[in-house]
Amino acid sequence: MRDTAFAEDASKIRTGHGPENMATLRNLAIDTLRAVGRTGIAAGLREVSYTPHSRPLDLLNLP
């Protein structure tokens, strides 16, 4: 899932805790989309990207 939605294999982050941290953030994004009822993760990511400064906060119920 993460590789197809986020192109994880192409990531340049390879040292330290970077890969683990990015995997955690990607999992958070996927889990958040699933929690609000999205089954198509790629479509959900596209929708959230249309308004990147407000839509993710709406999903998390943050002001």
Domain holding 11, by residue range, is 2-59
| Those residues with Cβ within 8 angstroms of residue 14's Cβ, 6 or more apart along the chain or in another chain | none
What is the full per-residue pLDDT of the chain (63 aa) written as tens digits? 677 888 888 888 899 999 999 999 999 989 989 998 988 999 998 988 888 777 777 888 876
What is the distance between the alpha carbons of residues 3 and 63, in angstroms, rounded to a whole number?
A: 31
| Those residues with Cβ within 8 angstroms of residue 23's Cβ, 6 or more apart along the chain or in another chain | 2, 8
The pLDDT value given to residue 63:
67
The pLDDT value given to residue 22:
92
Count the domains in the chain.
1
The pLDDT value given to residue 20:
93
DSSP 8: G
pTM over 0.85: no
